[in-house]
Chains A and B, each alone.
Chain A
Amino acid sequence: MMSRSWRDTGWAFALPWMIGMVTLTLVPMWMSWSLSLTRWDGLSLGGIEWVGLTHYRALIPGAPSTDERAIKAVTNTLVYTVLAVPLNLMAAMGLALLLSQRLRGMAIFRTVFFLPYMLSSVATVMMWSWLFNPKFGLVNRVLSVIVAPDALPGWLYSEFWCKPTLVLMHVWLCGGPMLVFLAALQRVSPSLYEAAALDGAGRWRRFWHVTLPQVSPAILFNLVIGLIFAMQTFDRAYLLYDRSQNHGLLFLMLHLYRSAFDAPHRIGYASAMAWVLFALITLMVVPILMMGRRVVFYAVRR
């Protein structure tokens, strides 16, 4: 099928990206790996001191030299990711399905649901801490109609509720994945639905047997990206951390950032943490990608 002269056109198309990959990612990655084996305050290249795997040892739970704070940060991050990602995706999918109907005024609704995603994180965080204020916030005011005053959640100020609050925020910010789903839903040809309808398939079966396989590449994409981004949550944690009790919002990226950018500036240790984060994400993402190869429906199989 393929003519000879076409064999290596892939290179031509991917070249700019490959150049970027090597210069902007591979080289810095190698640098950060090397740095993770050193102690360095990030001020002069002469001040780098080789320490081998010491930093990684501090990140193994249960050892005498363990950085308990880091373990707590990993736990927080995992709990948050496991809660936030599925809920966020379900919300995004639900909205995308509603918004892809052939109805008037959908353009306005799409913009409305995308708005939260457009706002700067500073403003977002400010708005949320208002709404979820335990004593005066709108949310607890509404809740107080049905819930006893003592049972009202303390939201960001409570060790238990701080993560659910962030999860809710993440659900509210589902505009990104929603957009990807919307794009994917456009690819589903109406003729497939018509055929399914002729076969007498109900709405649920049409969703299950037509829509879902057709948008499965987008689901895989959103799941992988969602996991990666949730594991790397930083902005919101950075802005809200001081409100939380007992380090309830200490996420790994925040701990990493603080190690690197607060005195005594442990660039090496922060790099080691980045690689632990990398490993954790790999453990989550690789099985999903492997499974994806069997489950996801691609028109192009290669």
Chain B
Amino acid sequence: MMRRSWISYGVLTLLAMVSLTPFVWAFATSLKPIEQAYEFPPTMTLEQARWSNYTDVFDKLPFGQFMLNSTVIALAAVTGAVLTSSMAGYALARLPLRGKRFWFALLVASLMLPSQVLLIPHFLMYEALGWVGTYKPLIVPAWLGGGAFNVFLFRQYFRSIPMDVEEAAVLDGATRWQCYRRVLMPMARPAVVAATVLSLLYHWQAFLNPLLYLSDFRKYPVSLGLRMYQTMAGTWVNLLMAASLIALVPMVVAFACGFRAFDPRRRGH
């Protein structure tokens, strides 16, 4: 057992090093002056590191405000996405529902159509609702199913949970909602974490929709902020890397917390 765990650690460490190499590069770039940022091969030493790039990110743009905006949008959207998609997934996996085949086919079909073709119809619709310029086009769709991806994920997960756990609760007089809320959702915690994490990421990185629907600089999310380092003459790649890494921090924190759900030690039995 001891020997096996050492092998695992060895393999994981090796893979982690490979996986992290690009980040080392990104971090190094974020500490360079612009003329060295593109240098081949890199010649910079640690003493020359320009930490001021990180403060520049905040000086040149209201990056803190962008982070806050992204947080508001992402939290509002992810809450709705996880709630409504898990409910739909539950219905598709375990509840009596007329035309279930049809709805499932529609679910898969909606995944297969590229989102670009929905751009124009969606814009016209939100414009008719007077929602352009607000966060609603970014948040409301999440409360209407939260994306086929999540519904499919929950449907698959709920189907792998045996029926008898629910039947026992039903015999105790639980309603469907109580079954969902008290029995199945806790059992599906890993799936909830996965869906939360992936949706969070999706909304954090969304670019085209915020660009189309928002017009007020003060309402912009981080993903738009990152494009502001591109000039007609070139990209401030050092600032871009610094800003990208800063934008990564909230995600890393959120995920590190979320991932604890996967820790076997914390699993109740």
Contact = CB atoms under 8 A, between A and B. Distances in A.
A and B, direct touch (CB closer than 8 Å): yes
Given A109-B12, A120-B205, A136 B87 contact: no
Contacts of A249: none
Contacts of A131: 21-22, 25
Given A14-B92, A111-B252, A299-B160, A101 B240 contact: no
A111 B117 contact: no
Given A2-B96, A274-B114, A299-B159, A16 B153 contact: no
Contacts, number: 280
B191 A183 contact: yes
A191 to B, nearest CB: 9
B49 interface: no
A42 interface: yes
A138 interface: yes
A19 B106 CA distance: 13
A18 interface: yes
Contacts of B11: 98
Contacts of B125: 23
B122 A28 contact: yes
> What secondary structure prevails in chain B residues at the interface with A?
helix
Contacts of A218: 156-157, 160
Interface in B1-22: 5, 8-9, 11-12, 15-16, 19-22
A136 B145 contact: no
Given A100-B262, A123-B244, A289 B108 contact: yes
A273 to B, nearest CB: 9
Chain A: interface size category: 35 or more
A179 B197 contact: yes
Contact of B260 (A107, A109, A278): A107
A181 B151 CA distance: 16
A277 interface: yes
A186 interface: yes
B119 to A, nearest CB: 9
Contacts of A13: 87-88, 90-91, 95, 176, 180
With most chain B CB atoms within 10 A of its CB, the pick from A105, A232, A300 is A300
Interface string B192-233: 011001100100010000000000000000010011000000
Interface stretch (A50-58, A80-88, A220-228): A220-228
B87 A14 contact: yes
A263 B90 CA distance: 46
Given A107-B256, A110-B262, A128-B22, A17 B84 contact: yes
Interface in B120-146: 120-122, 125, 141, 143-146
B131 to A, nearest CB: 13
A186 B161 contact: no
Contacts of A122: 226-227, 240, 244
Interface string B84-119: 110110111111111010010011111111101110
Contacts of B90: 13
B94 A300 contact: yes
A6 B114 CA distance: 37
B247 interface: yes
B59 interface: no
Contacts of B260: 107
Contacts of A143: none
A282 B263 CA distance: 37
Contacts of B23: 115, 119, 127
Interface stretch (A147-155, A156-164, A240-248, A253-261): A253-261
A17 B85 contact: yes
B234 interface: no
Interface in A69-95: 95
Contacts of B107: 21
Contact of B116 (A12, A103, A256): A256
Given A2-B96, A42-B120, A228-B112, A123 B240 contact: yes
Interface of A: 1-3, 6-14, 16-21, 23-29, 31-32, 42, 95, 98-103, 105-107, 109-124, 126-128, 130-131, 133, 135-136, 138, 172, 176, 179-180, 182-184, 186-187, 214, 217-218, 220-221, 224-225, 228, 232, 234, 253, 256-257, 260, 267, 270-271, 274, 277-278, 281-282, 285, 289, 297-300, 302
8 contacts: A10-B95, A109-B12, A112-B16, A118-B252, A126-B237, A136-B41, A183-B157, A253-B114
Given A112-B16, A128-B22, 5 more contacts: A42-B120, A113-B15, A224-B108, A270-B116, A298-B159
Top 6 A-B pairs, shortest CB-CB distance? A20-B144, A10-B97, A17-B145, A183-B190, A17-B88, A28-B121
